[in-house]
């Protein structure tokens, strides 16, 4: 079988009756056949996907290409612009010899095109429209991931949230949560502390310290009001889907915070969107760049909820693509949910790299044309091994693909241009200002007559010392007391029954969703 015959045979597996997203052309023996197209049906984009590969192999341009075609088809897109490179989506691309050559190789009638883009930033210090979430809405599970808490500490934080929900104390920003913890550790709050599951002073102190560390990293700017409404992502302008970029190029955002914020957005969409069933194209495509940050050091409860959300959100018409260097960065239970795979080149410089390469190769369908393991280390920049789900739901043949060139600018447009675009956005009037209404801090301060924001204690207090009015300085997380009373309480069937009944108590406390996020007020 000749190279062209092999390319044609592979491309036949990617033929579609409906609209499809064009990836590029099949490559056999180093030659691309522009007539042999590789594509992803829009109807299967909500079966999710993976874009992976080593640094410098072209992952960012692949994300740009996918976002462009989704937008052109009227599908909104959400991306985290970690390096600032994706801001070029807002401007038309520049022609050149390399673009002309790539267009000829992939059979693309390349035309410079700009796309509708909105720029967001975490908190008020970024270059985009400031976006925030309240502590209450974020919930204890996601906040525990941001704070780096272990399972025991996560359970304790959940109990603290539960108490605040019961008392109708709004946790809007970090000072609200600090004041609640300090109240529970004070003489006045000790009785209430004992009534919510035996929370220890040492564990509460660990949470307090982690909260202060988050504030020192600038995380306090993200928590507050006005809270971002995820429905603002579902915007179509003049038939084009809006591209929303979360700008992180200033590196001021905490990596764990921005990855968990994306998960919060996805969890909110899951809770709020109605069932859509089978759709010709998704309502939104959501890209998790640097996806390894989401899964690193995550608790089992957190991973279970990610798996469940990814599994179920497809029925809401939302597609999710994870972008990372190694497929092994994604847990197997999540990886098994991903229908499309665009795998750029992998490097095998170390024994661990070789193991990852072998494991990755084994996950691909058998190929009569390529040695998959060899191909994964031989791909050029802007090339990828691709397999997706066909319109009938079957995996397509493995295709060595030379990817199309993006039609928008393949470079950053600069911070001044991003800031100007952000302030011209209709979202600026909605989210540009800061609101500080009465919440837990003000209500608790009114009880005691305090006028200053809660402060962390200056001197450490031994964990076995009874709590005083000022909360104790906690030991480092690695010195936490570990399994103890909290775990025993959480395992108690009576307490589990209490939590289930309390969570649905109408009018007394907030109802929480799959990720512990507060439902819309």
- Structurally, how many domains does the chain consist of? 2
Query: Which pLDDT does position 510 carry in this prediction?
Result: 65
Is residue 365 assigned to a domain?
yes
Claim to verify: residue 32 and residue 152 sit in the same structural domain: no
Closest CA to 240 of 423, 117, 420, 112: 117
Q: What is the CATH number of the domain that holds 326?
A: 3.40.50.300
Is residue 195 assigned to a domain?
yes
Beta strands in 292-431 (DSSP E): 318-324, 340-343, 383-387, 399-403
Count the Cβ atoms, other than its own, within 10 Å of residue 220. Answer: 17
Most confident of 110-119, 270-279, 506-515: 110-119
Check pLDDT > 70 for residue 410: yes
Question: Is residue 349 very low, low, confident or very high in pLDDT (cuts 50, 70, 90)?
Answer: confident
Claim to verify: residue 116 and residue 243 sit in the same structural domain: yes
Query: Which pLDDT does position 515 carry in this prediction?
Result: 65
Query: Which pLDDT does position 467 carry in this prediction?
Result: 37
Query: Which pLDDT does position 493 carry in this prediction?
Result: 45
Claim to verify: residue 340 and residue 363 sit in the same structural domain: yes
Claim to verify: residue 107 and residue 156 sit in the same structural domain: no
Q: What is the C-alpha separation between 46 and 320, in angstroms, rounded?
A: 7
Is residue 512 assigned to a domain?
no
Q: What is the DSSP letter of 434?
A: -
- Please, where are the H alpha helices in 133-250? 135-147, 151-166, 174-185, 190-194, 201-216
Is residue 170 assigned to a domain?
yes
Omega of the bond leading into 288 within 30 degrees of 0 (cis): no
Q: Render pLDDT for 28-67 as a digit per residue (tens, 0 to 9).
A: 999 999 999 999 999 999 999 999 999 899 999 999 999 9
pTM (predicted TM-score)? 0.84
Question: Is residue 193 very low, low, confident or very high in pLDDT (cuts 50, 70, 90)?
Answer: confident
Most confident of 362-371, 401-410, 442-451, 455-464: 401-410
Closest CA to 294 of 137, 124, 82, 85: 82
Claim to verify: residue 36 and residue 55 sit in the same structural domain: yes
Check pLDDT > 70 for residue 246: yes
Check pLDDT > 90 for residue 179: yes
Percent of the chain with pLDDT over 90: 55
- Please, where are the H alpha helices in 46-168? 59-72, 97-106, 135-147, 151-166
Q: Are 501 and 212 in contact (CB under 8 A)?
A: no
Check pLDDT > 70 for residue 82: yes
Q: What is the C-alpha separation between 10 and 219, in angstroms, rounded?
A: 49
Query: Which pLDDT does position 184 carry in this prediction?
Result: 87
What is the mean predicted confidence (pLDDT) over 59-81? Answer: 95
Claim to verify: residue 232 and residue 340 sit in the same structural domain: yes
Claim to verify: residue 343 and residue 368 sit in the same structural domain: yes
Listed range (199-213, 241-255, 320-334, 396-410) with the worst mean pLDDT:
241-255
Claim to verify: residue 111 and residue 197 sit in the same structural domain: no
Query: Which pLDDT does position 131 carry in this prediction?
Result: 93
Q: Render pLDDT for 478-517 as a digit per residue (tens, 0 to 9).
A: 444 444 444 454 454 444 443 443 333 333 446 676 666 7
Q: Render pLDDT for 145-164 as a digit per residue (tens, 0 to 9).
A: 999 999 889 989 999 998 99
What is the mean predicted confidence (pLDDT) over 216-234? Answer: 91
Higher pLDDT, 26 or 475: 26
Claim to verify: residue 243 and residue 193 sit in the same structural domain: no
Query: Which pLDDT does position 506 carry in this prediction?
Result: 33
Percent of the chain with pLDDT over 70: 85
Query: Which pLDDT does position 379 carry in this prediction?
Result: 96
Is residue 513 assigned to a domain?
no
Higher pLDDT, 352 or 39: 39
Question: Is residue 340 very low, low, confident or very high in pLDDT (cuts 50, 70, 90)?
Answer: very high
Query: Which pLDDT does position 256 carry in this prediction?
Result: 81
Is residue 263 assigned to a domain?
no
What is the mean predicted confidence (pLDDT) over 70-92? Answer: 93
Claim to verify: residue 127 and residue 157 sit in the same structural domain: no
Is residue 37 assigned to a domain?
yes
Query: Which pLDDT does position 257 carry in this prediction?
Result: 86
Is residue 437 assigned to a domain?
no
Q: Containing domain of residue 162, as a range?
A: 135-223+452-503
Query: Which pLDDT does position 107 carry in this prediction?
Result: 95
Cβ neighbors of 142 (< 8 A, separation 6 or more) are 260, 263, 264, 267, 302, 515, 516, 517
Claim to verify: residue 22 and residue 164 sit in the same structural domain: no
Check pLDDT > 60 for residue 363: yes
Q: Render pLDDT for 275-328 as a digit per residue (tens, 0 to 9).
A: 988 889 999 999 988 888 888 888 787 888 888 889 999 999 999 999 999 898
What is the mean predicted confidence (pLDDT) over 267-278? Answer: 89
Claim to verify: residue 240 and residue 368 sit in the same structural domain: yes
Q: How far, in Å, are 78, 158, 262, 263 from residue 242 at the CA level?
A: 8, 36, 17, 19
């Amino acid at each position: 079988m000749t190279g062209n015959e092999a390319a044609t045979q592979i491309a036949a597996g990617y033929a579609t009756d409906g609209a499809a997203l064009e990836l590029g052309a099949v490559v056999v023996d180093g030659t691309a056949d522009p007539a042999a197209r590789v594509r992803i049906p829009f109807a299967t984009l909500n079966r999710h996907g993976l874009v992976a590969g080593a640094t410098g192999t072209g992952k960012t341009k692949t994300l740009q290409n996918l976002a462009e075609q989704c937008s052109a088809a009227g599908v909104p897109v959400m991306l985290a612009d970690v390096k600032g490179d994706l801001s070029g989506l807002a401007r038309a691309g520049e022609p050149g010899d390399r673009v002309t050559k790539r267009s000829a190789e992939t059979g693309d009638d390349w035309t410079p095109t700009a796309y509708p883009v909105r720029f967001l930033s975490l908190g008020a210090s970024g270059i985009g429209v400031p976006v925030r979430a309240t502590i209450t809405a974020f919930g204890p599970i996601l906040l525990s991931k941001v704070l780096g808490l272990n399972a025991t500490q996560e359970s304790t934080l959940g109990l603290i949230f539960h108490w605040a929900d019961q008392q109708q104390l709004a946790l809007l920003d970090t000072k609200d949560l600090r004041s609640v913890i300090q109240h529970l550790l004070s003489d006045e709050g000790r009785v209430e502390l004992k009534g919510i599951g035996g929370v220890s002073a040492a564990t509460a102190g660990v949470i307090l310290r982690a909260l202060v560390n988050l504030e020192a990293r600038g995380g306090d700017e993200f928590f507050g009001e006005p809270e971002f409404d995820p429905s603002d992502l579902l915007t179509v302008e003049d038939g084009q889907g809006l591209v929303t970029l979360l700008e992180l190029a200033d590196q001021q955002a905490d990596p764990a915070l921005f990855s968990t914020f994306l998960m919060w957005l996805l969890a909110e969409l899951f809770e709020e969107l109605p069932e859509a069933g089978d759709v010709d194209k998704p309502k939104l495509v959501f890209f998790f760049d640097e996806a390894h940050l989401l899964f690193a050091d995550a608790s089992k409860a957190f991973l279970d909820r990610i798996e469940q959300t990814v599994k179920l959100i497809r029925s809401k018409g939302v597609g999710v693509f994870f972008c990372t260097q190694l497929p092994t960065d994604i847990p197997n239970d999540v990886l098994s949910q991903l229908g499309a795979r665009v795998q750029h080149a992998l490097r095998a410089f170390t024994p661990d790299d070789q193991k990852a390469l072998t494991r990755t190769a084994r996950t691909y369908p058998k190929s009569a044309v390529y040695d998959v393991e060899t191909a994964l280390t031989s791909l050029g920049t802007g090339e990828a091994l691709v397999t997706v789900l066909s319109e009938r739901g079957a995996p397509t043949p493995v295709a060595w693909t030379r990817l199309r060139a993006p039609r928008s600018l393949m470079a950053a447009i600069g911070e001044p241009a991003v800031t100007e675009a952000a302030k011209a956005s209709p979202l600026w009037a909605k989210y540009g200002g800061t609101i500080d209404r009465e919440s837990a801090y003000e209500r608790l301060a009114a009880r005691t007559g305090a006028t200053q924001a809660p402060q962390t204690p200056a001197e450490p207090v031994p964990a076995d010392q009874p709590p005083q009015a000022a909360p104790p300085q906690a030991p480092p997380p690695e010195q936490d007391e570990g399994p103890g009373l909290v775990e025993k309480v959480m395992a108690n069937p009576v307490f589990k029954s209490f939590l289930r009944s309390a969570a649905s108590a109408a009018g007394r406390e907030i109802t929480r969703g799959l990720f512990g996020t507060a439902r819309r007020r």
